Amino acid sequence: MKKSEILTCFQCGTCHASCPSGKYTSLNIRKIVRDSMKKDVSGEPELWMCTTCYNCQERCPRGIKVTDAVLLLRSEAVKKGNILPAHRKVCGFLLKTGHAIPIDDKHITIRENIGLAETETVHKYPEALAEVKSLLRSTGFDELIKE
Ligand code: SF4
Ligand code: SF4
Segment 95-114, tens digit of pLDDT:
999 999 998 899 989 999 99
11 lines ligand 1 (CB under 6 A): yes
pLDDT tens per residue, range 19-53: 999 999 999 999 999 999 899 998 899 999 999 99
63 lines ligand 1 (CB under 6 A): no
Task: Report helix, strand or coil for 7.
Answer: coil
- Compute the distance from residue 100 Cα to the ligand 2 centre, in Å: 21
Sign of the CA dihedral 103, 109, 114, 118?
Answer: positive
Domains and CATH numbers, the chain: 3-79 (1.10.1060.10), 85-144 (no CATH)
- The per-residue pLDDT for 124 is 87
Look up the pTM and report it.
Answer: 0.79
User: Mean of the pLDDT values across residues 6-17?
Assistant: 95
Q: Is the pLDDT of residue 70 over 70?
A: yes
Closest Cα to residue 25, out of 54, 47, 55? 47
- The per-residue pLDDT for 1 is 62
